[in-house]
Each structure stands twice: as structure tokens, then as C-alpha cells.
Amino acid sequence: MLKSISCEEIIKTPITFSEGLNSVVGADDAQNSIGKSSMLMLIDFAFGGNDFPAKCDDVIRNVGDFKVGFEFEFDNKYSFIRDTAEPDSVYFVEAQELKTLKEFTSFLKEKYLPNELDISFRECVSGFFRIYQRNNYDDKRPLDIGKRPAITSFIC
């Protein structure tokens, strides 16, 4: 389970998660542009997604590339660091080893889905991230991972 995310450049204190439902809530005055979607994109980044550096480019333009720390707890605690400048690699803190993103998502798949499934970890979790920037929030087609191309049929 994801326990925390930390990033000194954009989050003042680490964000910790509890078992069960965790919510990202806006301000009482219902203001927009306060970082709710960016936070969800950061959580997706912690789960091996690659959209944050490309689709939250305004954050990187204003802050620069940065490292994101996250901790998972399964049988033990596991800490990782991922850099927005090098999103295809993940630093495994306990092993003190830089590994590929594929090795990281394989690790998460093993911990979250211990049974052999013929699906990648990202294929399994990606549909659960409904975030404005990812363009996968169609309330009429909630199981679609992304927007489907329009198909027009006609007979001549």
C-alpha cells in the first residue's frame, strides 16, 4: 500500500495515506487551480505512470525537474525515489540500486497482485486514475482507459 509521497519542491510536508479511502479535496471557497489534479498525477507517478512530466509540464516549467520520494508498505516498508528528469528509472532506497521503471512496476505487480496474471501492473491500475489531464474521465464510459477515436461508418 502506498504510505507516503514527499517532494520538497512542491509539497511542504510529506503526504501520508491511510488504509481505506483517501481524498484530495479543494479549498472551502471552491477555488480551482490549487493542485488537486497535479497531486493525483503525482500519485500516478508513484505507481509507475509517465504522464506527470509531460502533462504537468507547467509544474516543471515553474519549479524545474525534481525528485519524488514515496514509500510503500507490504510485508516490509519499501522506499523509492523517482526523478522527473529521468522517469524511466527508479531508485530502490533499501537496495541502494537504480532500476528500470519496468523492474519497479514488476515489483509493484508482485506485491499487489501475487497471482500470475497476464496483464501488466500499469494495465491493471491505470484505469483507476481518472484525472483531467489524462483525458480518461468520460463518465459515460467509466471503464475506458483513454479516449476512443471517433468511428464513423457508412455504406456506399
Percentages (nearest 5) of helix, strand, coil residues in the chain = 30, 20, 50
Q: Given this model, what pLDDT does residue 149 score?
A: 46
pLDDT of 105 higher than 80? yes
List the chain domain ranges: 2-134
Distance CA 131, CA 47 (A): 14
Tell me, yes or no, if the pTM score tops 0.85: no
> Three-state DSSP class for 84?
coil
Q: What mean pLDDT is predicted for residues 109-122?
A: 74
Outline where the chain has alpha helix (H).
Answer: 36-46, 51-55, 57-63, 101-112, 121-125
DSSP 96: T
Residue 56 pLDDT = 78
Q: How far apart are CA 36 and CA 120, in angstroms?
A: 27
**pLDDT confidence of residue 152:** 38
